[in-house]
């Protein structure tokens, strides 16, 4: 059986100080940055995925959860890759346990790459056929990562053709103070539009003029150039005006 020590040792053997410096800047692990206090050792994401692939079967859920509390960024991300694989292959009981581990450790899922590598693949899929009120709680949290988890979890619903919770949480997070939430909301609205452009534009019609700029830019990224310009200049038509 693999242990947390095995995973840590393997990641340490792949560490690259130069890459660690670049990652620290990219994920703002500097004083005043949103990743302040975190530490990178410089292991690439593909290498972390390979480590996760080698160990996901043998590493216990308890040890995987322990790895998630590490002070090293790559150890936490690797633990999330393992949890995602365990979730995908697990039965209902195991999937529920993994969901609970994730919710109990959202303070350790404390950068956008950690959120985006887990929420759409564990939180959203678990809630597909269940009470989703936990997303309202997360969206109302003081922790920016909880709020990003909430909106990113709706990616699973979008893939299933269900846009209600994406719109519901986008409305709630419309004036969120953090640009990492603005970007996530815009991204999820864009994903809705990739599947149902009319549904996205109906949501945007009454809101695009008051949206944070970065949220709007993400939401309309795939629109035709002139359409994007219309939205950004504040002159895009809205459905009720047309009627």
Which residues are CB-contacts of 226 (< 8 A; sequence separation ≥ 6)?
none
- Residue identified by tokens 């053997």 is 13
pLDDT of res. 127: 98
Distance of alpha carbon 147 from alpha carbon 138, whole angstroms: 5
Residue 237: per-residue pLDDT: 58
Cβ burial, residue 6 (10 Å; 0-12/13-18/19+): middle
SS3 assignment, position 2:
coil
Tell me the whole-structure pTM to 2 decimals: 0.94
**Tokens 């692939």 label which residue?**
53
Please report the pLDDT score of residue 239 as a whole number. Answer: 39
In 3D space, the residue among 109, 188, 193 whose CA is nearest the CA of residue 156 turns out to be: 188
* pLDDT tens-digit map of 175-196: 999 999 999 999 999 999 999 9
Q: Is the sign of the CA dihedral 30, 36, 37, 38 positive or negative? A: negative
Closest C-alpha among 120, 159, 152 to residue 138: 152
Cβ atoms 193, 224 nearer than 8 A: no
Counting as low any pLDDT under 70, the low residues of the chain are 236-243
Burial of residue 194 (number of CB atoms within 10 Å: 0-12, 13-18, 19+): exposed
Q: Helices (DSSP H) in the chain: which residue ranges?
A: 4-13, 17-26, 45-55, 61-68, 73-89, 92-104, 112-116, 124-127, 133-139, 144-159, 164-172, 179-195, 197-205, 213-219, 225-233, 239-242
Structure tokens at 113: 């790459």
Structural domains in the chain, CATH included, are 1-109 (1.25.10.90), 118-243 (1.25.10.90)
As a whole number of angstroms, the distance between CA 165 and CA 119 comes to 14
């Amino acid at each position: 059986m693999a242990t947390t020590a095995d995973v840590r040792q393997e990641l340490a053997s792949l560490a690259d100080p130069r890459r660690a410096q670049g990652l620290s800047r990219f994920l703002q692990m500097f004083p005043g940055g949103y990743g302040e206090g975190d530490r990178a050792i410089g292991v690439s994401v593909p290498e972390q995925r390979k480590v996760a692939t080698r160990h996901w079967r043998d590493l216990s859920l308890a040890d995987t959860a322990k790895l998630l509390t590490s002070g090293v960024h790559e150890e936490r991300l690797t633990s999330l890759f393992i949890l995602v694989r365990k979730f995908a292959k697990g039965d209902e009981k195991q999937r529920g346990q993994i969901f609970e581990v994730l919710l109990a450790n959202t303070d350790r899922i404390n950068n956008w790459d950690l959120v985006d590598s887990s929420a759409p693949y564990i939180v959203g899929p678990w809630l597909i056929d269940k009470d989703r009120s936990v997303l309202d709680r997360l969206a109302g949290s003081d922790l920016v990562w909880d709020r990003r988890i909430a909106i990113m979890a709706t990616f699973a619903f979008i893939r299933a053709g269900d846009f209600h919770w994406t719109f519901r949480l986008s409305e709630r997070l419309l004036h969120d103070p953090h640009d990492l939430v603005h970007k996530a909301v815009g991204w999820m609205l864009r994903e809705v539009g990739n599947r149902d452009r009319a549904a996205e534009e109906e949501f945007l019609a009454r809101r695009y003029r008051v949206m944070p700029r970065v949220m709007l830019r993400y939401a309309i990224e795939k629109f035709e150039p002139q359409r994007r310009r219309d939205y950004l200049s504040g002159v895009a038509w809205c459905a009720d005006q047309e009627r």
